[in-house]
Structure 1
Amino acid sequence: MKPRRAEGLNIVPFIDVMLVLLAIVLSVSTFIAQGKIPINLPQADNVEKKADDKVVQILINADNHIYIDDKELDSSALREAINAIDNATMIEVKSDKDARFESFVQIISIIKDKGHENFSITAQTP
């Protein structure tokens, strides 16, 4: 009489497939986390991260196009959009290091004219 062979489900190929899928998801998620608008942030030695629930991002790319939450705006629409933001909401200003300083100063001026003091300027660590 032959010894009985244990019949069962071989899960080794399943684990291999899952590990490959996990590697793909992790590598793609780093691209998603960066955002849609490419910005090369300037470097700073002392960078502080704050975690707020409500954050409005104002981005200036290298071509001096201004975006609020991934929507491109011109100067007049920019002022209206910033004035519509609640004073309790955190505004995060990100500017490409190759953008004109004038665009950055314009945004800070609008924020200060409104009296909004809950904003941060984002840089990256070297």
Structure 2
Amino acid sequence: MDRELDQINVIPLVDVMLVLLVIVLTTATFITTGQIPVDLAKAKEAGDRRDVPLVITLTAEGKLYLNDRPVPEDGLRIVLNSHPRESQVVVRADRVTMLERFVQVVDEVRGLGFQQVSLEVVRS
């Protein structure tokens, strides 16, 4: 019963690789879409960003997030004070957000000295 192994069984290797591929593809979709669901506005011309800006998310309920972390009420000024003023700031606002709340957020960010403030939209 002593037989020499003259070939490698690759079926278990293929099974493991397929499972890893499914895991990577599943987690990649969660990473790219972000944690906070926001229905962005649409625009015909939308710029492509190459660097990593500060992302302020304003939900339909009026809650604020900075880089997917919740910001307490009236705490945006405190949270942004630790960041350099040259940083780019992108505001992701839900399309049903009240214009007044959006303007308050942008006005507060601009009042802190951030000059590069833009709105993230979806290309239509």
The TM-score, its normalising length taken from structure 2, stands at 0.83
Q: Percent identity?
A: 30
Using the alignment, how far apart are the partners of 2:83 and 2:16 within structure 1? 46
Using the alignment, how far apart are the partners of 1:123 and 1:96 within structure 2? 10
**Aligned: 1:25 with 2:57:** no
Report the alpha carbon displacement of residue 27 of structure 1 after superposing the two structures with TM: 2.5
Note the 1:30-45 alignment, pairs <5 A.
30-45=29-44
| Alignment partner, residue 72 of structure 1 | 70
| Alignment partner, residue 60 of structure 2 | 62
Q: Which amino acid aligns with 2:76?
A: L
From the superposition, tell whether residues 20 and 71 of structure 1 become closer, same or farther in structure 2 (CA, over 3 Å). Answer: closer
Structure 1 runs of 4+ aligned residues shifted over 4 Å read none
Q: State which drifts further: 80-89 or 103-112.
A: 80-89
Q: Is the 8 A contact 1:82 1:110 kept in 2?
A: no
Q: Is the 8 A contact 2:90 2:117 kept in 1?
A: yes
Equivalent residue pairs, number: 122
Whose Rg is larger? 1
Q: Is the 8 A contact 2:77 2:112 kept in 1?
A: no
Using the alignment, how far apart are the partners of 1:103 and 1:83 within structure 2? 20
Using the alignment, how far apart are the partners of 1:19 and 1:89 within structure 2? 41
Q: Is the 8 A contact 1:61 1:99 kept in 2?
A: yes
Gaps of 5+ in 2: none
The TM-score, its normalising length taken from structure 1, stands at 0.82
Gaps of 5+ in 1: none
Report the alpha carbon displacement of residue 115 of structure 1 after superposing the two structures with TM: 3.2
Q: Is the 8 A contact 1:41 1:96 kept in 2?
A: yes
